[in-house]
Homo-oligomer: A and B are copies of this chain.
């Protein structure tokens, strides 16, 4: 019996008589044939049926960040709709081991918020498959980009804080380099950050403060490598400890802001009466605690990234999608005490 007939029995039931098909399947069952091999099929059809995802860091890290999980959810949703798998590519955190990218049998890649100069990104671009980059500007041609306008969003938040009357403002931000650094970050360190998202948020903030004449060089910025509530606590401690007169703490993520709130609570500092605290992302928890923040559509971002990758008809020109953000003014921000 010919191989073609077997193939048809599995893939094109209408191409052969039901009884022959039945006979083929029974025989296969009897002989312990497990059905067509997916890899061989992929080789021949030149379709892997899956999308590769490169996450920032150690995978485990991403799963603790609600924004990343939301993104993942949206992306998974898009893949599911298209019947495509989603392959989490193992990115060794420190190593330059790009082999995993080369070994990924996928029809396209989504790169989520990687440091600018990451070798993995380079490896992805070498691969002859379409790619969508998230939260990262791409000078590279032929690559779709989806993200938000971090600069403008943070500018809006800065204006809100300034309009309330705050002039003594401190900042807590996420990691700026791949190397661990916990402490105050100078303007040149900020400018040299590997992470586009953090850079943009800081420059947005800077622009906002400049509008009311504040000198960015005098604004204390505390950086934390870990992105956890605990890191937010310790950052707030360092910030308020070194600058007791601050009336507002602007954080570049909700997680860090939650930590700042927690620290204020322990200190007996009332929010917002004594201190204004703001975040960024709009995670679920932020609403519950009344955190003023910028909501960004993380789930939508993932979904759009997936669709951009999968729905490309014969589209050739790369697209750049900027999703809207929304300033969420809640109860953690108020005018400073006179």
Contact yes or no, A63 B85, CB < 8 A:
no
Residue of B nearest to A299 (CB): B60
Q: Is A87 an interface residue (CB 8 A)?
A: yes
Contact yes or no, B43 A87, CB < 8 A:
no
Q: Is A122 an interface residue (CB 8 A)?
A: no
Q: Using Cβ atoms and an 8 Å threshold, which residues of chain B touch A104?
A: 38, 49-50, 85
Cβ < 8 Å to B, chain A residues 17-67: 34-43, 48-50, 52, 58-60, 63-64
User: Using an 8 Å CB-CB cutoff, how does the interface string of A124-148 with B read, 1 for contact, 0 for none?
Assistant: 0011100000000000000000000
Q: How far is the CA of A89 from the CA of B84 in the complex (A)?
A: 8
State how many angstroms separate the Cβ of A313 from the closest Cβ of chain B: 21
Contact yes or no, A60 B39, CB < 8 A:
no
Contact yes or no, A83 B90, CB < 8 A:
yes
Taking a contact as CB atoms closer than 8 A, the residue among B73, B82, B89 that contacts A64 in the complex is B73
Q: Is A9 an interface residue (CB 8 A)?
A: no
Taking a contact as CB atoms closer than 8 A, the residue among B40, B60, B100, B128 that contacts A83 in the complex is B100
Q: How far is the CA of A105 from the CA of B36 in the complex (A)?
A: 11
Given known A-B contacts A41-B103, A83-B100, A73 and B89 have beta carbons under 8 A apart: no
**What would 25 A/B residue contacts be, using CB atoms closer than 8 Å?**
A35-B102, A37-B43, A38-B103, A39-B48, A40-B43, A42-B103, A43-B43, A49-B100, A50-B105, A59-B76, A59-B80, A60-B73, A60-B77, A63-B72, A63-B76, A64-B73, A76-B88, A80-B91, A80-B92, A83-B100, A85-B89, A85-B90, A86-B88, A87-B88, A88-B88
Contact yes or no, B77 A59, CB < 8 A:
yes
Given known A-B contacts A34-B128, A73-B60, A85 and B87 have beta carbons under 8 A apart: yes
The 8 closest A-B pairs by CB, nearest first: A63-B73, A59-B76, A86-B88, A80-B90, A38-B105, A60-B77, A39-B105, A39-B42
Q: Is A327 an interface residue (CB 8 A)?
A: no
Residue of B nearest to A106 (CB): B38
Residue of B nearest to A123 (CB): B35
State how many angstroms separate the Cβ of A53 from the closest Cβ of chain B: 9
Q: Using Cβ atoms and an 8 Å threshold, which residues of chain B touch A48?
A: 39, 105
Q: Is A79 an interface residue (CB 8 A)?
A: yes
Residue of B nearest to A83 (CB): B90
Taking a contact as CB atoms closer than 8 A, the residue among B39, B60, B83, B86 that contacts A87 in the complex is B86
Q: Is A69 an interface residue (CB 8 A)?
A: yes
Q: Using Cβ atoms and an 8 Å threshold, which residues of chain B touch A36?
A: 102
Q: How far is the CA of A52 from the CA of B128 in the complex (A)?
A: 24
Cβ < 8 Å to B, chain A residues 278-313: none
Residue of B nearest to A60 (CB): B77
Q: How far is the CA of A50 from the CA of B97 in the complex (A)?
A: 16
Q: Using Cβ atoms and an 8 Å threshold, which residues of chain B touch A34?
A: 126-128
Q: How far is the CA of A82 from the CA of B76 in the complex (A)?
A: 23
Given known A-B contacts A50-B87, A127-B34, A76 and B103 have beta carbons under 8 A apart: no
Q: Using Cβ atoms and an 8 Å threshold, which residues of chain B touch A80?
A: 58-60, 90-92
Q: How far is the CA of A72 from the CA of B73 in the complex (A)?
A: 12
State how many angstroms separate the Cβ of A86 from the closest Cβ of chain B: 4
